[in-house]
């Protein structure tokens, strides 16, 4: 008799935890059409207008976008090699990279970063901010 009552209760707990998890992820996502770089807001069109294009080779093949190192110069980061950069996604995922990564990275039109070196964990999709530290 104990198992017959315990199994439905456990199933209900699992369903509730899953539901609350989905609500939490949805509530923490940032919805915006701009990317904040060095505390300034830019649209993707503005970013692609001001920066040079680059094609890099990744473990997934060739990727094209704007050069992140050129972008940092264009947005006015003083001494770009002296800083670290935290790239943040709209779902809260973030990675902090050094200037060596930025020099070999791109930002694509769909708001995704790729780097020619390093692990794929540093690739961030749905970028909403690049914080200069």
CA 100 to CA 68: how far, in whole Å? 11
Cβ contact 99:51 at 8 Å: no
Please tell me whether residues 25 and 38 are part of one structural domain: no
Q: How confident is the model at residue 5 (pLDDT cuts 50, 70, 90)?
A: confident
Total number of domains in the chain: 2
Please tell me whether residues 9 and 25 are part of one structural domain: yes
pLDDT value of position 4: 83
Please tell me whether residues 71 and 53 are part of one structural domain: yes
Under 8 Å CB-to-CB from 91, ≥6 apart: which residues?
25, 28, 29, 126
List pLDDT tens digits, range 112-129.
Answer: 999 998 889 999 999 999
124: Cα separation from own chain's centroid: 3
pLDDT value of position 63: 94
pLDDT value of position 30: 61
Q: List the CATH number of the domain containing 49.
A: 3.90.420.10
Q: Read off the pTM.
A: 0.76
Please tell me whether residues 6 and 24 are part of one structural domain: yes
List pLDDT tens digits, range 67-102.
Answer: 999 999 999 998 999 999 999 998 889 999 999 999
Q: Is 118 exposed, middle or buried (0-12, 13-18, 19+ CB in 10 A)?
A: middle
Please tell me whether residues 17 and 39 are part of one structural domain: no
Q: What range defines the domain where residue 51 resides?
A: 34-132
pLDDT of residue 105 exceeding 90, the answer is yes
List pLDDT tens digits, range 17-76.
Answer: 998 888 877 766 666 778 999 989 999 889 999 888 999 999 889 999 999 999 999 999
Please tell me whether residues 15 and 45 are part of one structural domain: no
Please tell me whether residues 57 and 79 are part of one structural domain: yes
81: Cα separation from own chain's centroid: 21
Please tell me whether residues 81 and 100 are part of one structural domain: yes
Cβ contact 114:123 at 8 Å: yes
Q: Write the CA distances from 119 to 12, 97, 106, 109, integer angstroms.
A: 39, 12, 15, 21
Please tell me whether residues 26 and 39 are part of one structural domain: no
């Amino acid at each position: 008799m104990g198992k017959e009552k315990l199994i439905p209760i456990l199933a209900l707990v699992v369903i509730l935890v899953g539901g609350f998890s989905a609500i939490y992820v949805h509530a923490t996502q940032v919805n915006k059409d701009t990317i904040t770089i060095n505390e300034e807001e830019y649209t993707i069109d503005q970013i692609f207008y001001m920066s040079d294009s680059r094609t890099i080779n990744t473990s997934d093949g060739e990727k094209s976008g704007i050069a992140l190192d050129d972008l940092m110069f264009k947005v006015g980061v003083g001494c770009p090699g002296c800083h670290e950069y935290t790239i943040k996604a709209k779902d809260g995922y973030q990675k902090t990279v050094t200037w060596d990564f930025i020099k070999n990275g791109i930002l694509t039109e769909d708001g995704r970063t790729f780097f020619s070196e390093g692990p794929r964990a540093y690739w961030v999709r749905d970028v909403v901010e690049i914080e200069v530290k």
